């Protein structure tokens, strides 16, 4: 299959408007794990997405302490170089010891260099298409030094593009003084909308590609979530401790999913696809990262790549967000 593509900032990469997110397939072996996963199903999900036109995968070294990268490598092992999807991964979150539950946010040049070599080994590739600093570091390393290191890695041929994740405008301005970034990865959904106020306009103005993560808010806007599913989450699934998945916030979020369901019926599509397409309607958003743990879940959102929401759809979603008071941030696309 062929899906629509868009140029990712100044990278030269034309990427499909949805990409495969490999957070959940990392398993349970880290603080933000999604519970136990079946690696065979994960591999099948990745291959299914690629076969249906998705041309990029986003993972990170921290997902499952490297396990997600290993699963991605396994899924791509039989795909020739000419047909291989772009591989994006991240650095900057490491553990001081095997006994630590939470990783530290590290941005030192030495750590980034160690991490990129480890990711290349796990992914079994010679160059990473987009390498991203996962979070602003908390080890005292100036952002400028971390970004400069990423540019050095590009000059050395280890990475193709420079990216950051979870940066605000002030940090993007500081990064600009060290060569700038090609891509930003922020959280964005109909529930978590704050980046639409200032970050998306900034990126659009400065030609920074944007790939948003969690457009379905980690499953809440998938159309398949329920209060019972929240109650049944295993102890090793990070969502069990998230306030979005409990209490009044959960009630509001599920009501918003029902509004998206009304829009989905108009287009004979899924709630998940509407949730993702809503984020893609914003000016400045290049593409969205969408996770899956089995092939059937890919089927649930792949149509977002070609779904064009109407003015009526946008109006109804805006009214629903405002009425429910769900989440925070602008409630209408600016595109």
Question: Nearest Cα to 9, choosing from 193, 184, 152?
Answer: 184
For strands 14-16 and 5-7, give the pairing: antiparallel
Name, in order, each residue with C-beta under 8 angstroms of 309's C-beta and a sequence gap of 6 or more.
Answer: 263, 274, 277, 278, 281, 317
Three-class secondary structure assignment of the chain? CCCCEEECCCCCCEEECEEEECCHHHCCCCCCCECCCCHHHHHHHHHHHHHCCCCEEECCCCCCCCHHHHHHHHHHCCCCHHHCCEEEEEECEECCCCCCCCCEECCCHHHHHHHHHHHHHHHCCCCECEEEECCCCCCCCCHHHHHHHHHHHHHCCCECCEEEECCCHHHHHHHHCCCCCCEEECECCCCECHHHCCHHHHHHHCCCEEEEECCCHHHCCCCCCCHHHHHCCCCCEHHHHCHHHCHHHHHHHHHHHHHHHHHHHHHCCCHHHHHHHHHHCCCCCCEEEEECCCHHHHHHHHHHHHCCCCHHHHHHHHHHHHHHCCCECCCCCCC
- Tokens 């040049």 belong to which residue? 109
Neighbours of 310 (CB within 10 A): 11
Q: Which residues are marked as active site?
A: 63
């Amino acid at each position: 299959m062929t899906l629509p593509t868009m140029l990712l900032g100044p990278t030269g990469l034309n990427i499909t408007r949805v990409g495969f997110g490999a957070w959940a397939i990392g398993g349970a072996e880290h603080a933000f794990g999604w519970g136990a996963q079946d690696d065979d199903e994960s591999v099948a999900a990745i291959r299914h997405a690629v076969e249906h036109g998705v041309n990029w995968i986003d993972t990170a070294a921290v997902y499952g302490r490297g396990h997600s990268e290993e699963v991605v490598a396994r899924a791509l092992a039989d795909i020739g170089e000419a047909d291989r999807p772009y591989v994006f991964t991240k650095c900057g979150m490491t553990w001081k010891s095997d006994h630590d539950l939470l990783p530290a946010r590290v941005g030192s040049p030495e750590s980034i260099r160690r991490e990129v070599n480890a990711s290349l080994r796990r992914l079994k590739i010679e160059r990473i298409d987009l390498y991203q600093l996962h979070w602003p570091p908390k080890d005292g390393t100036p952002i400028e030094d971390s970004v400069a290191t990423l540019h050095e890695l590009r000059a050395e041929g280890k990475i193709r593009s420079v990216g950051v994740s979870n940066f605000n405008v002030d940090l993007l301005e500081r990064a600009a003084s060290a060569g700038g970034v090609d891509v930003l990865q922020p959280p964005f959904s109909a529930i978590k909308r704050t980046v639409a106020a200032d970050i998306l306009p900034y990126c659009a103005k400065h030609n920074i590609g944007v790939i948003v993560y969690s457009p379905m808010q980690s499953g809440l806007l998938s159309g398949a979530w329920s209060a019972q599913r929240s109650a049944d989450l295993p102890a090793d699934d990070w969502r069990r401790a998230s306030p979005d998945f409990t209490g009044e916030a959960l009630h509001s979020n599920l009501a918003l999913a029902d509004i998206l369901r009304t829009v989905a019926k108009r287009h004979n599509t899924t709630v998940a696809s509407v949730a993702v397409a809503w984020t893609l309607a914003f000016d400045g958003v290049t593409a969205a990262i969408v996770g899956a743990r089995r092939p059937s879940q890919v089927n649930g959102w792949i149509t977002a790549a070609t779904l064009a929401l109407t003015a009526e759809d946008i109006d109804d979603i805006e009214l629903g967000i405002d009425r429910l008071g769900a989440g925070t941030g602008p409630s209408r696309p600016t595109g």
